[in-house]
Structure 1
Amino acid sequence: MTTLWHDPGMRASMTINGYKQSHMPLVYLGNETNLKENRDFLKKYHKLRAEKPEIPTSEPSSSSPSTPPTNQTNISESNTSSSGKSKTTVAIVVSLVIIALIAVAAFFVVRFIINKRSNNDNITETALIV
């Protein structure tokens, strides 16, 4: 019998008539599973995942193979080009934001000026009426 862990939605384990049909091998169903082997494998796997990767140093160690200097220059060139691209992108975004802010400010200033002129006209009209 499969579980939702093996088949979310249980799509593959249903037949046309709606009866459950196993699509998993016997190992996953627990019939011929060696629990000790599985536990040992999981322990090794978790131990490998828990180990921290070595931090690269400027001096090559005797245990690690040395890399050719051409690879290091290629890596630094690619990092430089990517940082240049990111700087260009930031400059474009900042300039677009500044232009948008100027446009919004200009809209409100023009609107304020138009409202101020129309208010002055209303005051003179009321003065003439009285």
Structure 2
Amino acid sequence: MDGKQRQEDFADINATWSGLDCVVYTSTVEAGISFEISNHFDSVIEISNINTGVHAEAFAQMFYRVRDCPHHTISLYNSKKTGIFKEPNRDLIRAELSALRPGDLPTAIKGGPLKPGSIT
């Protein structure tokens, strides 16, 4: 995403995100972004490697960009070298989402063929 597109998208985050079913972002979305539309998203899932230098306050800031959401999940993992934690993968994320909305997942998350125009 170029700087101009980012600026346009972030100018009115409520308008931008309200047209989406799923938003994935990095630590570039920390403070200053606030999605205020109640009950639009069913879940916030934060996935982080505990070996990255994300400060605890920044971690919390990223987690609550969506203000009113009924379900929050944090998934932490460690470096692959330690073997303590397993790295999050598609199956783990799919299981978490299925538990929330078992009959209403997009085809792309279920792993089936993608229908033209089903994701915008």
| Bigger radius of gyration among the two | 1
| Larger fraction in helix | 1
| Larger fraction in strand | 2
TM (norm. structure 1) is 0.18
Higher relative contact order (CA 8 A, sep 6+): 2
TM (norm. structure 2) is 0.19
